[in-house]
Amino acid sequence: MKEKAYDPKAAEERWYAAWLEAGAFHADPARPGEPYSIVIPPPNVTGSLHMGHALNITLQDVLLRYARMNGRNALWVPGTDHAGIATQNVVERELRGEGVSRQELGRDAFVARVWKWKEQSGGTILRQLKRLGAACDWDRERFTMDDGLSRAVREAFVRLYRKGLIYRGRYIINWCPRCHTALSDLEVSYAEEKGALWYIRYPGQSGGQGVVVATTRPETMLGDTAVAVNPKDERYAERVGTTLRLPLMNRPIPLLADAMVDREFGTGAVKITPAHDVNDFEVARRHELPSVRVIDESGRMTADAGVFAGLDRFACRDAVVAKLKEEGLLVREEPYLHNVGHCYRCGTAVEPSESMQWFVKAKPLAEPAIRAVRGGETRIIPSQWEKTYFEWMENIRDWCISRQIWWGHRIPAFHCRSCGKTMVEPDPPSKCAACGAEEILQEEDVLDTWFSSALWPFSTLGWPENTADLERYYPTSVLVTGFDILFFWVARMMMMGIEFTGKAPFRDVVIHALVRDARGEKMSKTRGNVIDPLEVIDRFGTDAFRFTLVALAAQGRDIRMSDDRVEGYRNFMNKLYQAGRFVRMHVDEETPRKLPGELPVVDRWILSRLQRVIDEVRGGIEEYRFNEAGSAYYQFVWHEFCDWYLEMIKPALLPSAGEEERKAQRATLLHVYETLLALGQPFIPFLTEELWHALPGGRGLLYDRPYPVADAAVNDVNVEEDMAHLMEVIRAVRNIRSELNIPPAKKVEVRLKGEAEEIAFLRDHEEILRRLARAEAVAYVDPDYIPVQDATAVVNDIEVCLPLSGLIDFDQESRRLKKEIEKGNAERVRVAGRLANEKFMANAPQDIVDALREREAALEQKLAKLGKNHELVSRYLS
RNA sequence: GGGCGGAUAGCUCAGGUGGUAGAGCAUCGCCCUUACAAGGCGAGGGUCACAGGUUCAAAUCCUGUUCCGCCUACCA
C-alpha cells in the first residue's frame, strides 16, 4: 500500500522527540555564536493553550529557529506565571466543592494546597507548547514562584523600598469585593452601564432649602462628610461655609468650595464620600475632612451605614432611594449611562475603597523607560505602538502592588509587634531593629503577580546573581507579545529592567494582533466561538496550522482563523510532501550534492529564482513581516518550483535523456529541494525535518543545518527573461486550446513565427514546449508565413500559430482575437495618452519614460499582428 | 473627551520609500497528463469608502467627511 498523502501525526511526535534527544534546544553560554535570546511571555499556570498563545509561540519559534540556523547562540526560556488571583480562585473553587473555605484551611495549608495543584495541573500549557513545536530550552524552565525568582522578587522589592520607590500608605484603591483584594488601575476594566442620576436634597442644618446634589451611587451618601461646589459658582457662593444635614444619617456636614467641581455637571454640587471615591478622597485631604467607610470588603454596608448596615451595596442603593423618596428628599431621577469598573478576573463591580496598601512610585522608573524607546535602544514594532507606550508612560500613576490574597510572593516587610517598626529585608529579621523585641510578624499581603513578571527577562537568567546566562543572554533580542499586555507587562519590564540592570530588557518588542474567529469576532468562552488550537492541529497538522498563522500575521492586523484557511495550507503541506516523493523517485545515494559548473538553462533559471526567494524569506523574517516571508515561500514552492520547474525537467529525467544531462538535473533538483526544506524549517519544522530525512544520505537534523543564504552570483536576469518568454508562449498555446475547447488529448502542431534569432531560444527548448503545451510538433516559420486557418496569439516578438483547419470554429476564434485586441488597445490608448502629456515627458524620470515608450512600441506591434490575424480569420466567418 | 487602526475582486485579506492593482478561498469551463483530485490547465471578476488637495503621476502623501473596530480618561 503506497502512502498517498502526508500524515503529520507520526512525524510530529518523532521529530520533537528527536530534537529533544539531540539536546538541540539547549543553549550553552560557553558555545560560540552571537547570542540570540527570547524569554517567553509566561502563560498563566492555570491556562491552557488558546489561539493567542499559538500565534505568539509560533512567531517566536520562527525567529528562534531562524536565528539558530543562522549560527546564533540561541536561547528561548520557557516558563509559567503563578497568576495569583486566577490560581487562588481555581483552588478555592475546588475547595468549595469539598465544602471547605480557605479560611478554615488556614494560610499555610492553603498555599500548600495550591502548590499541589500546580504540580499536578500546572504543566498543561507547557506540554501543549511542545505540540506546537516550540524550540524552548526546557532545561531552563522557570516559574515565577520558584526559589530563584522569589529571591529576585524580594531583592527587587527591598532595593526599590530603600530607594524610596516603594511606599506604604492609605489611599483609595480599586477593591474587588469578590476576590477580596486590591487591584491595580490596569486590572479594572470599564464598561458602560445603564444607571440613573439621582438628585438628592441635602437640607440646611438650620432649616432652609439646602443644596441638591446629583449622584449615580446614592448608597455612598451614608458615608458623605461634605458637599462641594466650585468656588466660582455664584449660585452657591453665599452658602459656602454653611452646614448641611446629611439625610438618613442626620449628620451635619459642611458645604465647601473646591476647584475640582465642574459647574456644568448636574446641579454643580457634589457629595463627598472620601472613603469610596478617588476624587472625593483628594478633596477630603485638601479640606481635612473625616472619612467614613460604609462598604466593607465584601461589598456589604458597614455598621457606620446606620439602619442599612448589613445590606449588600446594591440592595442598599434601592433602599436608600426608597427612603429618600419617602422623606421627600429625592428631587429627581433620570436615566444615565455611565462607566462602571469591573474586576478583570471575576467581573464583579469594583468598589473604590480607602485602605492601607503598598505602591511603586512609577514616575522615576518610567522616565528612563521612555528614553530607552525614544533613543532607539528598544524598538517597538509596528512603531505606531510607540505612541501608545509613550502616552501611558508619560501619564503613569503609582502602581498598587499589594494584594490581600495568599497565593503569591509575600511582601518582605516585617512588623515589630511591640514597637510597630516596619523592616523591609530580603530575609526575615530575628529581632526588631529598633527595640530588639523578637516577636516579628511578616506582612500579610502578597505582591501583584505582574511585579514578578516585570523581572522575568532577567530573573529567569539568574539575577540578582551575575550568572553566565545573564552575562551572555541579557538584554534579550526580542520580545513577542500581544498589545493587550503592553502596559501590564512590557512597560513594567522596561522600567524594572533598566532600574536593576541598567539596560532595557529587549532589543525589539514585536506586538502582534489578535486571533479572531472566521466572522471576525473576538473569541471568548461566553460567546462560545473559541477554536481550540489543539483541535485544529489534530485535524490538519501542526505545520499547516503554524503556516496559517504565519501567512496571516500581517503587522497590525487581526487574524481571522477559519478551517478554510488552514485547509488551504494543509494542502500546501501536502504539495511539498508530494514534491518530495517526486524528488525521491529521481535521486539516489549517487546524486552529487555539488552542482556541476555547466548547467542547463532550466536549472540556471530555478537557481536564479531561488536566490530571490531566499532573500525574500530572510527579509520577511528579519523585519518581522512574517506574512511576506510565508507567502514568498508558498508562491515559489507551489507556483514556480512545482508548477514549472518540476514539469520542465521531466523530459530531461526520462531514461531517454542523456546520462550526463540527467545527472546534472538531478543534482540541481536535489539542491533546490533541500534548500527549500531548510528555508521552510522555521515555519514548518516537522514536515521539513521529515522530508529532509527521507532524502538519501544521513546528514543530521535539519534544525542544525545552516539557513540558506542567497548567492547573488547565481542570479541571471537574462535567463529569467528567456524563461519568462518561454512560459508565455506555453501559456499562449494553453490559452488557445482552452478557449477553443481543444481537448488535452488532441495533439496539435505549434508554429512559431518570427525572426530566426527571436526563435532560437524556443527552438533550443522545444521539448519543454512540446510537453507543457501538449504539442505534437513544433514548426518554425518565417515572418512572411500567413496563418490562414490558424488560431493565433502574439507573445513579444513572435506569433504563436496553431493550424487548426477543420477543428477550429472561426466565430469563436474571431471573438477571442477581438477580445485580445480590445484589451491591448485600451492599454495602448492609456500609454499613448501619458506619452502625449508634455508635463509628464518633462518631469518624469527617464527610466519611466523609456519603459513606457517600449511598452507602446510593443503594444503597437502586437496589435498590428493581432489585427492582421483577425482579418484573416474573419474571412471564414459564416 | 483624547488616541490608534480599518474601509481594495463575491468572501478573507496582501500591497516598506508615489510609476501599468495581487494572493487564498469561492465561481465558471476543460482534464483521472505516470509527485500530488488535499491535484493540473484555462477564464471571469476591482471608478482601491466619499469629497477635496499636492504631483507629470495617488490604493499609496496631505486635509476633511461617513461608517466600523479597539485602547485610554476621576466628570459626581
Chain segment A262-277, per-residue pLDDT in tens = 888 889 999 999 999 9
Distances in Å between the alpha carbon of A775 and those of A649, A704, A726, A745? 17, 46, 14, 10
Whether A684 contacts A540, CB under 8 Å: no
Nearest to A768 by CA among A602, A575, A579, A574: A602
- Give distance CA A548 / C1' B6 (Å): 22
Measured from the CB, is A828 under 7 Å from any atom of strand B? no
Residue nearest to nucleotide B42 (CA to C1'): A738
Strand B near-CB residues (< 7 Å), A 517-546 = 520, 522
How much is the pTM? 0.93
Nearest to A637 by CA among A670, A608, A676: A676
For residue A848, the number of C-alpha atoms closer than 13 Å in the C-beta half-sphere is 9
Strand B near-CB residues (< 7 Å), A 95-154 = none
Question: Closest nucleotide (CA of A732 to C1')?
Answer: B42
Question: Closest nucleotide (CA of A838 to C1')?
Answer: B56
The set of residues, in sequence order, having a beta carbon less than 8 Å from that of A395 and lying 6+ positions away, is none
Measured from the CB, is A348 under 7 Å from any atom of strand B? no
- Give distance CA A556 / C1' B5 (Å): 8
Measured from the CB, is A773 under 7 Å from any atom of strand B? no
Question: Closest nucleotide (CA of A544 to C1')?
Answer: B38
Per-run averaged pLDDT (10 residues), chain A, 878 residues: 69 95 95 96 90 93 96 96 91 91 92 93 90 96 96 97 95 92 91 88 87 93 93 89 92 92 88 93 92 93 93 94 93 88 89 94 94 92 89 92 95 92 92 88 94 97 95 96 91 96 96 84 80 92 94 85 90 94 89 83 94 93 93 94 93 72 86 96 96 89 95 91 92 90 84 88 90 90 86 87 78 84 85 86 88 88 87 76
Residue nearest to nucleotide B31 (CA to C1'): A744
Torsion A680-A686-A689-A690 (CA) sign: negative
Torsion A452-A454-A459-A460 (CA) sign: positive
Residue nearest to nucleotide B19 (CA to C1'): A848
Cell of A834: 501619458
Helices vs. strands in chain A: H and E counts, helices first: 30, 29
Residue A48: per-residue pLDDT = 87
- Give distance CA A5 / C1' B12 (Å): 27
Torsion A634-A638-A642-A643 (CA) sign: negative
Instruction: Characterize the bridge pairing of strands A166-176 and A351-360.
Output: antiparallel
Cell of A636: 515559489
Our CA angle for A720, A721, A726, nearest 5°, is 95
- Give distance CA A317 / C1' B60 (Å): 57
- Give distance CA A483 / C1' B61 (Å): 28
Which parts of A193-312 fold into alpha helices (H)? 234-237, 278-287
- Give distance CA A735 / C1' B29 (Å): 12
Q: DSSP letter for A706, please.
A: P
Cell of A619: 527579509
Strand B near-CB residues (< 7 Å), A 366-405 = 384, 387-388, 391-392
Nearest to A52 by CA among A122, A137, A119, A132: A132
- Give distance CA A509 / C1' B65 (Å): 36
Chain B: nucleotides under 7 Å from a protein CB?
3-6, 12-16, 19-20, 23-25, 29-33, 35-43, 55-57, 70-76
Nearest to A608 by CA among A731, A483, A741, A713: A713
Helix H or strand E encompassing A456: helix A456-459
- Give distance CA A816 / C1' B41 (Å): 18
Residue A656: per-residue pLDDT = 65
Residue A1: per-residue pLDDT = 29
Buried b (16+ CB within 10 A) or exposed e, A520-533: eeebeeeeeeebeb
- The backbone torsions φ and ψ at residue A560, rounded to the nearest 5 degrees and listed phi first, read -100, 120
Measured from the CB, is A270 under 7 Å from any atom of strand B? yes
Measured from the CB, is A625 under 7 Å from any atom of strand B? yes
- Give distance CA A163 / C1' B10 (Å): 64
Measured from the CB, is A731 under 7 Å from any atom of strand B? yes
- Give distance CA A748 / C1' B44 (Å): 26
The set of residues, in sequence order, having a beta carbon less than 8 Å from that of A332 and lying 6+ positions away, is A198, A199
Give the burial class of A696: count Cβ atoms within 10 A of its Cβ; 0-12 exposed, 13-18 middle, 19 or more buried: middle
Measured from the CB, is A822 under 7 Å from any atom of strand B? no
Nearest to A682 by CA among A641, A613, A611, A633: A633
Torsion A624-A58-A392-A365 (CA) sign: negative
- Give distance CA A822 / C1' B45 (Å): 17
Measured from the CB, is A847 under 7 Å from any atom of strand B? no
Q: End-to-end CA distance of chain A, in Å?
A: 56
Question: Closest nucleotide (CA of A279 to C1')?
Answer: B74
Residue A82: per-residue pLDDT = 94
- Give distance CA A589 / C1' B34 (Å): 23
